Amino acid sequence: MSKIPIILIGGGGHCRSVIDVIESENRYHILGILDFPEKVGEKVLGYDIIGTDSEEELKSLLPKCENFLLTIGQVKSANLRIKLFDRIHKIGGKLPTIISPLAKVSRHAQIGEGTVVHHFACVNANAIVGKNGIINTAALVEHDAIIGDHCHIATRATANGEAQVKKGSMLGSHSCLLPTVVLPENSLLAAGSVLTKSPDQSGVYIGQPAKRLQK
């Protein structure tokens, strides 16, 4: 079966992780990567950086490739990934869902467009994961959990049963949302932290049990 062309946006560390997932899935052929102008001509794991992510360049690539994927990481803010996601939609591009063959996604779960489920992640029965998400290596989205659009569930983080991560938020590496707990929009649960109660305002939550970081 011939592979489907895809172009990646963002050539850093997260991109290298996504490339490994795409290669393992073996459905897409990576035509190239878009990054800053000064990076054009460099390579990432053997794939060429072929241009930048300006609207004009994205449009000019459409005739040979309609599929794009965001491969920039997300920690403190989802804004850049949201901006680029909207730009791809605006020019008429598509954002496929990529699932590692080493991940377990329940047939009763839903995964939105542009979301990547990395190696050894588990998305269990009745869970919903929104658009443009990162379900990173070995992350766990338990039964009935709801992960909003533009969220990052980092390496080995856990959203337990019926927990919710609202739009634009992140569970840091090894963090844990207890069952039914809701992390508000545009928030971050710090690496290794455990959120035991649903906060009523957005922010950075840190510690065990996690408390809002006062700036």
CB of 190 to ligand COA, least distance (A): 3
Binds ligand COA by CB under 6 A, chosen from 97, 126, 173, 202: 173
Cβ atoms 116, 135 nearer than 8 A: yes
In the complex with ligand COA, the residue whose CB is nearer, 71 or 155, is 155
159 forms part of the interface with ligand COA (CB under 6 A): no
Token pair 């839903």 in the structure block, residue: 110
CB of 101 to ligand COA, least distance (A): 20
Q: Which amino acid is at 130?
A: G
Residue 149, SS3? coil
Q: Which of 195, 114, 137, 120 is nearest to 203 (CA)?
A: 195
Distance CA 210, CA 150 (A): 22
190 forms part of the interface with ligand COA (CB under 6 A): yes
Distance CA 118, CA 1 (A): 23
Distance CA 44, CA 154 (A): 22
Instruction: List the x/- string, 30-49, binding to ligand COA by CB under 6 A.
Output: --------------------
191 forms part of the interface with ligand COA (CB under 6 A): yes
Binds ligand COA by CB under 6 A, chosen from 100, 115, 155, 187: 155
Distance CA 20, CA 16 (A): 7
CB of 177 to ligand COA, least distance (A): 14
Q: Which amino acid is at 114?
A: G
154 forms part of the interface with ligand COA (CB under 6 A): yes
CB of 123 to ligand COA, least distance (A): 17
Q: What share of the chain is helix, strand, coil (3-state, %, to 5)?
A: 15, 30, 55
70 forms part of the interface with ligand COA (CB under 6 A): no
**Interacting span for ligand COA (CB under 6 A) from 42-50, 90-98, 112-120, 190-198:** 190-198
CB of 49 to ligand COA, least distance (A): 22
Backbone angles phi, psi at 119, to 5 degrees: -55, 140
Cβ atoms 185, 203 nearer than 8 A: no
CB of 209 to ligand COA, least distance (A): 12
165 forms part of the interface with ligand COA (CB under 6 A): no
Q: Would you tell me which residues interact with ligand COA (CB under 6 A)?
A: 75, 136, 154-155, 172-173, 188, 190-193, 204, 206
